[in-house]
Structure 1
Amino acid sequence: MNNMTWSRKALTYFPAGSNGEFNLPSDLATVVSHGEGCRLTTADGREMLDFSMGWGSVLVGHADARIVGPVAKRLLQGTNFATVTDASTELAEQIIAISPACDQVRFCASGTEATMYCLRLARAAQGKRKVLRFEGAYHGAHDVGVTNLFPTERNDPPQPRPSSDGLTAHENGGVLVAPFNDLEITTRIIQENKQELAAVIVEPLQRCLPPATGFLEGLRQVTAECGVLLVFDEVVTGFRLALGGAQEYYGVVPDLVAYGKALGGGLPIGVFGGRADLMELASESRQGSDTYVWTASTLGGNPISCTAALATLNILRDPASYEHLHTLGKYLRHGMRSVIDRLGVRAHVLGDGPLAQIAFTPSMPHDYWSSQHEDRQLARDLMLQLFRSGIFLNPMGTKLYLSLSHTHAACDELLNKLEESLDQLTNTTAVAAS
């Protein structure tokens, strides 16, 4: 029997003691045992208030009986068949009815796969190899998704900068980069590269940065005029901002769309879809032709994930669900602004719907560079202090996720700890400076 503590096991068996991104110091290495609602319990018995919610994949809440019940029942009928099932067919029908962009869909196991397949379809359909993405956006773990994810040095657009070793998509002009919310520069790049540019991929709400007025509409217009496909990465915004996602919320319809996260009710899922003429390129009857696009996923459309997704959609169809998510999101962001104002800290609060983030910036951010913390150490120390105080979040300082299981009381608990932590840190910094 291994007598190591859970945290020591995590640090021994996983690089940095995590499965990626969390970047916790060794004394905060955490192993989760279980969760209920908006709270989780670690393997050593500590209860924490969760504002990560499986990086937004658990929109309803942990262990919700409305999802657990149907999933448990479906488990008795087999877990995976690697083919179309009654559950995946029903889910496809519902997604197509909800999503303005989708005539047809295919399932995969993650948002990473969904965005990857969208870009593959776009390149094949256009007979072009370049794609345009925006600085600071995340489109999954593939090469395009991790290019310019968190650049540390400015490049003149459209030059890319990889955010990881081992990437190749950015080489030889395969990936172009533009500043989010700058329609003028983006339009110029698209027009100058339209002969080689297959697609533009965008998070309609980039991390927690809302689109400027007219930005998405302008993207839709210029891509259509230049014969470039528009891809919405709705892995985060899909089914979170509205039942119809960003397409419904912002009123702009792309050519292809990728979904994931919240749709699965906490189980792994990915979906990509679009116009029938584009999706038809993935038909196996085209194999061997010049315009066949290979897509497949062993666990894509498995009946367990699809059953969870169907249960999730049933919950989200209640108009009270989105009223709750948006009301609570506004309440949290307003509370965060109040804390910042009371303490006289130079910072801004970003987000929309059930999403929130603090940016320690002198002015309201509008793109990646203007959203970068002026005081990175303060931002890091604040996230770690909140984690120590019992708030489970991503200490890299990215967005906070709300769920249907969160309440005003849960938000107040976070806000109280935010004020206490920020007050302590800013006073400590002021004393040290004097």
Structure 2
Amino acid sequence: MEKILSQAEWIDRARAVLPAGGFGNFDPGIVIREGKGSRVWDEDGREYIDYLIGSGPMMLGHGHPEVMEAVLEQLPRGMTFFASNARGIALAEEICRAVPCGEQLRYVSSGGEADMYAIRLARAFTGRTKIVKFEGGYHGMSAEAQMSLAPSVRVNFPQAVPDSAGIPPSVAAEVLVAPFNDFEFIKQLMAEHGHEIAAIIAEPLQRIVPPLPGFLQLLRDETQKHGSLLIFDEVVTGFRSTYGGGQELYGVTPDLTTLGKVIGGGFPLAAIVGRADIMRHFDKAEVGAEGWLMQLGTLSGNPVAAAAGLKTLEVLRREDTYDRLNASGQRLMQATSAALEEAGVPFRIVGEPALFEVVFTDAIVRDYRDTQAGNAARTKRYNAVLRAEGIFKSPGKTYPSLALTEEDLEQTEAAIRKAAAALD
């Protein structure tokens, strides 16, 4: 009979074979055994309401029966072919219908890959090399994306600072870093460097920070003025608050969009989506050898992930789906606000109902540096109490899911009140 291991034993085993012990930065460590609906269980059998939802993709909850049925229907027909398949084509068609900038699509297996190729595609299309990104913006793990991802606020700003070892110093010369929501900085930067810039890449909702009114439109106007491309990284925001993602929510259409998470229904699937005249650079027959952007991936667009994605999007298209999701998020935001007001600590709730977090500061949160100005000790204490009360989330984001029940929401509200009361 196989020995049943405790969570601590699994964590010890993980440390032996997985650098840093595995996935995520959870303190204390956790090993998830299973998930069902709105909940997950760890290897010690503890039950949690899940507000991490796999870091975003499990919007419908774990083990959604219709998604499971679609996957099980595809599995005996084949898992991957390294060739086009009907489900992959159908999913591409649906994504292009949904996303305002969607004319053509190219599959990859992760959001980070999608961002890497989108940046490369912008360079191929424009013939320029420089990229503008925003301090604190996350766009995967490429060398360009790791510039000023999480720099110390003591670093003189602005400058491109690598957040990982192994990045050549030359990369910094090709990345210009700007503060999110700073209108004048963008205008000045583009006036000075617009002729060199291949693209501005931005999350429409940067981590949890919403754009100020008119800021995304400014990015659109400035890129068009200077012949640069605008890339929206919608790996997180795609299909999140609305079916058309952040570009539909905020009313600004980019040239290219990257998607991931939700479109795979819990399986590894991502995409670059955009204007056909730009996307044609993936077609060697269209642009010739010099203009061709080579892109291949063994599992890109495989039929199992596509089947899960197709069914997930079908469910999301149903009436009142987003009304229900956003209502749950709004309720939790209001509960958090009420509890923290009663506790008498300064705070800001930042984000949208479908993705938000509390920052323990009394200052307006407009960019990365504002999020870092929050009281770190209170953040740690607040999240620790939530975890102890059966709430599973990351330290920096709260993702409501469509699987949340009235019981889940009531239990979460009680946990929020207890966590708020524990703060000094």
Please state how far the C-alpha of 1:13 moved relative to its aligned partner.
2.7
Secondary structure at 1:133's aligned position in 2?
strand
Task: Report what 2:126 is aligned to.
Answer: 126
Of 408, 411, 423 in structure 2, the residue corresponding to residue 410 of structure 1 is 408
Aligned residues: 420
Name the amino acid aligned to 1:103. E
Over aligned residue pairs, what C-alpha RMSD do you find? 1.8
Give CA-to-partner distance per residue, 1:315-347, whole Å, 9 cap, x none: 011131100111111111111111110100111
* Structure 1 residue aligned with 2:12: 8
8 Å CA contact 1:133–1:175 kept in 2: the answer is yes
Q: How far 1:265 moved relative to its partner? A: 1.4
Per-residue deviation, 1:157: 5.0
In the TM superposition, residue 353 of structure 1 has moved relative to its aligned partner by: 3.2
Q: What one-letter code is carried by the residue in structure 2 that aligns with 1:14? A: L
**Closer/same/farther in 2, CA of residues 374 and 104 from structure 1, 3 Å limit:** closer
Task: Choose the corresponding residue for 1:22, options 17, 25, 47.
Answer: 25
Q: Give me the whole-angstrom Cα distance separating, in 1, the residues matched to 2:65 and 2:202.
A: 35
Q: 1:39, 1:50 within 8 Å by CA — same for their partners in 2?
A: yes
Which amino acid is 2:214 matched to?
A: G
1:36-115 → structure 2 map (5 Å cutoff): 36-115=36-115
Give a deviation string over 1:239-266, Cα, whole Å, max 9, x none: 1111111121111100011000112111
Structure 1 Cα separation of the partners of residues 184 and 287 of structure 2 = 40
C-alpha distance in 2, partners of 1:308/1:64? 10
Q: Which runs of 4+ in 1 moved over 4 A?
A: 1-4, 154-158
Residue number in structure 2 paired with 1:419: 417
Supply the AA of the counterpart residue of 1:423. A
Q: 2:260 aligned with 1:257, yes or no?
A: no
Between the two proteins, what is the percent identity of the paired residues?
36
Deviates more, 1:403-412 or 1:314-323: 403-412
Shift of residue 76 of structure 1? 0.7
Q: Distance in 1 between matches of 2:280 and 2:261?
A: 25
Q: Distance in 2 between matches of 1:125 and 1:156?
A: 33
| Inter-CA distance 317–229: structure 2 relative to 1 (3 Å threshold) | same
Amino acid at match of 2:248: E
Instruction: Give the TM-score normalised by the residue count of structure 1.
Output: 0.93
Q: 1:147 to 1:262 in 2, by over 3 A?
A: same
Checking the alignment, whether the CA contact within 8 Å between 1:132 and 1:201 is kept in structure 2 is yes
**Partners of 1:161 and 1:170 within 8 A in 2:** no
Cα pair distance change 1:11/1:391, threshold 3 Å: farther
1:399 — aligned with what? 397
Q: Corresponding residue for 2:162?
A: 162
Q: Does 1:390 align with 2:413?
A: no
Checking the alignment, whether the CA contact within 8 Å between 1:6 and 1:30 is kept in structure 2 is no
Distance 2:182 2:280 in 1: 33
> Distance between the aligned counterparts of 1:14 and 1:250, measured in 2?
40
Structure 2 residues without counterparts, runs of 5 or longer: none
Contact 1:328 / 1:407 at 8 angstroms: preserved in 2? no
Q: Is the 8 A contact 1:144 1:170 kept in 2?
A: no
Question: 1:267 deviation in Å?
Answer: 1.2
Distance 1:236 1:280 in 2: 25
Q: Which residue of 2 aligns with 1:328?
A: 328
TM-score, normalised on structure 2? 0.95
**What code does the residue aligned with 1:18 have?**
G
Q: Which moved more, 1:150-159 or 1:371-380?
A: 150-159
Q: Deviations over 1:92-148 (max 9, x none)?
A: 111111112121101111111111111010011111111000011111122222221
Q: Secondary structure at the match of 2:77?
A: coil
- Deviates further, 407-416 or 77-86: 407-416
Shift of 1:43: 2.3
Kindly provide the CA deviation profile for residues 265-310 of structure 1, in whole angstroms up to 9, marking residues without a partner as x: 1111101021111111111326862211111111110000000010
The residue matched to 1:387 in structure 2 has which SS? Answer: helix
Is contact 1:360-1:372 (8 Å) kept?
A: no
Give the residue type in structure 2 aligned to 1:189: L
Q: Report matched runs for 1:280-299 at 5 Å.
A: 280-285=280-285, 289-299=289-299
Q: CA deviation at 1:172?
A: 4.6
Cα deviation, 1:202-224, whole Å, max 9, x if unaligned, reads 00011111110000111101110
Distance in 1, matches of 2:170 and 2:409, equals 41
> How far apart are 1:170 and its partner, in Å?
6.4
